[in-house]
Structure 1
């Protein structure tokens, strides 16, 4: 097997070539006769045109949506009363921090990485911490909805303890995510492949670099996709069975919300994790030997990665804005803000302590209804 192709399943840091605008229709011509290396300037050009506008759209929509969530919790609901409140606030914070790294990746795709090694490590670690925390918090929300809808009596009897457990669970999520992000602090490097620009990517060393790469990819696949997906399927399956047996006129709305949540998760995460599985397989046993195959796979990686990132701007709509009471509180905040602006500030916005939470613990189907 040609060793040239064993390193092809890597990050965009391995792309090199001439002018990024130099597109070529025939991929096989990208295999230069002199060096035998696959000229991936076409992929670099595609990444430079595809990622920046998409990342900025995700950034703007996600920041607006998640800031609205934080704003409501900081003003109208300044006290977190339920597990759902705790999880949704932490999810909004995790998504906001995750979104903050997208401008850096957009700049990396356009002009290369010009921020240095330490920012490269920091941005990579922040990205991975909040990626894992977002996925694990979605898992916690699934369990929370299972308890609130299927185990209603226990949920009421252990309401105060559940609030404590939710805070403890969030602490565990952040600690676990930080530990899972340690490889980014260790292996993230600024790599330069002349004549291409510098890029921030994972760079492994020693003879067991493939084993390290397989381990890192396996952790991301298992903790960032497989584990949350299994928990979501189990919890929502039981919830659906419970709702089908319930006599509620709103159960169909709740079922649609569950379907939307699961569908959005699969649509955004499944393609990228499939690519990661192929990357891990390639690291263990190189199978791609044609340059055109490598190029097409690299493009698929860029597209699926962008699709996976869209979940950060979808979460507010899937998990928060579906709540009728949250929409009412959001409208209330907007009206108060409009009124207070005329009075010279927002500091007098009162917190509401007697109203039910965004998704009341006493609710069953309304907790998931549109």
Structure 2
């Protein structure tokens, strides 16, 4: 995702100067990242549901690692398949004299069908499927935690709320604009120049908000985890940033704040939200 941004920045400042091959590569890489990211977030939601709600049915470590690898490979393969239209149809296209853009050029006879299909796929995989999975899985997880008297309950619930709220705030505006585009594609009315210009501006703004989600995901899914923080503290100690005594005190504090009280609390401590 980050590697594609400089190309889009140059494109926004001047025009697309990198040719059709790089247009296919950059546009395809961006879309693969979008689909794989959203599908992985979906799987994370399902995995947390299985770990916390169905704690007694979890696999052993060996099978769990193999299962996780297969799921990740499957996600990437599926994301690449969904991105084939971007790889095939993206071109460096001159829409006006002396102005070249990187865009998808659809066959004239099937333009509405293919373009509509690409947009619907992006709406489903890029928003609706992960959103529904989050709502269902995290609702059941929250209900399970509320029924438990564990020490970590309130902290876990806050993280659940943060994950869902951040996802909706960042992703919903762009997908509303995308939905409006889909409705316009399948309608028989020809959009006015003003409508097209307003839609372009709306996409720029809402897509930038959606980009923010990529920045917040590491915080929500990684940095808040107990295991990650403990490992990070040990790295700081090995690098000489903190002493062994400071490390011991910090690890003791982490241990006290994440001490399990019951079966469910123990599960959330081993697999922190």
Shorter-chain-normalised TM-score: which range? Answer: 0.7 to 0.9
Match of 2:198 in 1: 296
1:354 match: none
TM-score, normalised by the number of residues in structure 1: 0.64
How far apart, CA to CA, are the structure 2 residues paired with 1:284 and 1:305? 22
**Rounded Cα–Cα distance in structure 2 between residues aligned with 1:182 and 1:234:** 30
Shift of 1:247: 0.6
Q: Among residues 140, 144, 168, which one is paired with 2:43 in the alignment?
A: 140
- Residue pair 2:151, 2:265 contacting (<8 A) in 1 also: no
The match for 1:321 among 223, 229, 250 is 223
Structure 1 position 166, deviation (Å): 1.0
Structure-2 residue corresponding to 1:149: 52
Residue 176 of structure 1 aligns with which residue? 78
Aligned-CA RMSD value: 2.2
Query: Which consecutive segments of 4 or more residues in structure 1 shift more than 6 A?
Result: none
Q: 1:115 maps to which residue?
A: 18
Alignment match of 2:166 (pick from 256, 260, 264): 264
CA deviations 1:121-144 (Å, max 9, x no partner) are: 011111111111111000111111
1:84-107, Cα deviation, whole Å (9 max, x unpaired): xxxxxxxxxxxxxx2211111111
How many corresponding residue pairs? 252
Deviation, 1:261, is: 0.5
SS of the counterpart of 2:109?
coil
Structure 1 distance, partners of 2:21, 2:93, is 13
| 1:126 aligned onto 2:29 | yes
Q: Is the 8 A contact 1:257 1:368 kept in 2?
A: no
1:245 and 2:144 matched: no
1:309 is aligned, of 211, 216, 232, to 211
More relative contact order, 1 or 2 (CA 8 Å, 6+ apart):
1
Contact preservation (8 Å) 1:120, 1:190 = yes
Q: Which residue does the alignment assign to 2:118?
A: 216
SS in 2 for 1:364: helix
Rounded to whole Å, the distance in 2 between the matches of 1:279 and 1:243 is 40
Match of 2:101, SS state, is: strand
Query: In 2, distance between residues paired with 1:368 and 1:268?
Result: 23
Distance 2:223 2:180 in 1: 36
Counterpart secondary structure, 2:23: helix
SS of the residue corresponding to residue 252 of structure 1 reads helix
Q: TM (normalized to structure 2)?
A: 0.86
What displacement does 1:317 show? 0.1
Contact preservation (8 Å) 1:148, 1:363:
no
Contact (CA 8 Å) 1:152, 1:362: kept in 2 or not? no
Equivalent pair of 1:99/1:312 in contact (CA under 8 Å): no
- 277, 300, 307: which one aligns with 2:179: 277
Contact 1:243 1:365 survives alignment (8 Å): no
**Is the contact between residue 128 and residue 181 of structure 1 (CA under 8 Å) also seen in structure 2?**
yes
